[in-house]
Amino acid sequence: MDLTWSPDEDAFRAEARSWLVANVPHDLPSGDTREGFARHVEWERLLYQNRWAVVSWPEQYGGRGASLWEWLIFEEEYYRAGGPQRVTQNGIFLLAPTVFEFGTPEQQERILRRMAAADELWCQGWSEPNAGSDLAGITSRSTKVDGGWVLNGQKTWTTRGAFCTHLFGLFRSDPDSERHKGLTYLLVPLDTQGVTVRGFGRLDGDEGFAEVFFEDAFVPDGNVLGGVNDGWSVAMATTGSERGLTLRSPGRFLAASARLIELYRSATTVGGAVESVRRRVIDTWMRAEAYQLFTLETVTRLSEGGAVGAESSINKIWWSELDVELHETALDVLGPEAQLEGAWSKGYQFSLSGPIYAGTNEIQRNIAAERVLGLPRR
């Protein structure tokens, strides 16, 4: 056990902190509106130009070749400085690890740097109207034609789909297949003929959701990621990162807890029973700290050759429930003011999506029970 940082890591932190404190914008509108998204993309490009967009990637793709430890440090400093949610996250945290693992050299050259530079903006096309928690129920089809695939069907709940330029998705390539078999992972430019995107309002009213329709849309063979009919196992490689480590780093919740403590201290009147609100402020601090410690344990394991396994499921439950509790506590501190539009009410509405997206917490509990505890599937 050694819970100290090396001089190099301290130097990395100092460099990140001073750049972020000087450059993080504090006046960005929501990234889930067309205007706001454009402003966020400008911020993403500034990050990229200063090589802060994807610190853990190799330098050839715009990164710094930073270790996982340095990535954690960067995330901590990013949220400490008040950095906004990354509108590029679905590309850089979900698709990119899959491209690194399964992409051909040509695909890596074509995709990664443009993704890091926020020149191409990626959204995830997995869920369908009838394939949510039961993701293997996908019916969108990809039909083999000369030189590529023709897509038909519909994706939905696609985050920021109306503003992105590209989609990565799962399509049924073997019409006789069922469930997890016969799916192919495809990369689709959204300006492809036959692709229609319709944005719609999320709970907070912002156009953060989209449904994407495919009508005889053609994509070339070079846009298959991994093997044909092997899309499920390719896709599952990203879910480990999504739930387990990269999507929601501890820094984000440590920063939210620090803001909650500040709010609690500055509150002149506290809604409800003071002592019980105080208890929750302390509890959420401890839970954010515990999340940090659990992550240090995970990163140690990864650094020593281990993998993120099914325990990533309890991780996802932990951070998503913590996020709701942090925001609910803040609203209780705000009292009647909580009904007004503001950072906390906005954040609260967003936090409520956490137990639903990236695999509902009910599905995560099933996975943890079956694959970690070994309980029978049926």
C-alpha span between 91 and 120 (Å, rounded): 9
DSSP class per residue in 298-314: HHHHHHTT----TTHHH
CB 225 within 8 A of CB 186: yes
Whether residue 276 contacts residue 282, with contact meaning beta carbons closer than 8 Å, is answered with: no
Residues 6+ apart with CB under 8 A from 308: 240, 241, 244, 245, 298, 302
149 scored as a contact of other proteins (CB under 8 A): no
Bridge-based pairing of strands 183-189 and 195-200 is: unpaired
Active site residue 42: no
Joined tokens for residue 318: 């932990």
Work out which of 15, 174, 289, 337 binds other proteins, going by CB under 8 A: 289
Near other proteins by CB under 8 A: residue from 15, 311, 325, 337: 311
**Closer residue to other proteins, CB minimum distance, 174 or 289:** 289
| Residue closer to other proteins (CB basis): 23 or 366 | 366
Which pair of tokens denotes residue 335? Answer: 């009292």
Q: Does 4 contact other proteins by CB under 8 A? A: yes
Catalytic residue among 75, 76, 128, 242: 242
In the shown chain, the binding pattern of residues 35 to 74 toward other proteins, with x for contact by CB under 8 A and - for none, equals ----------------------------------x-----
Q: How many CB atoms lie within 10 A of CB 42?
A: 12
The residue from 25, 59, 297, 335 that contacts other proteins (CB under 8 A) is 297
Query: 209-220 and 148-155: which strand pairing?
Result: antiparallel
- Among the residue ranges 14-22, 37-45, 206-214, 273-281, the one whose residues contact other proteins (CB under 8 A): 273-281
Q: Residue 358 or 368: which CB sits closer to other proteins?
A: 368
Contact 267, 333 (CB under 8 A): yes
Q: How far is the CB of 1 from other proteins (least distance, A)?
A: 5
C-alpha 288/C-alpha 283 separation (Å) is 9
Nearer to other proteins, 203 or 375 (CB): 375
Q: Name the residues annotated as catalytic.
A: 242
- Which residues bind to other proteins, rule: CB under 8 A? 1-6, 9, 69, 261, 264-265, 278-279, 281-283, 285-287, 289-291, 293-294, 296-297, 299-301, 304, 311, 313-314, 317-318, 362, 364-366, 368-370, 372-378
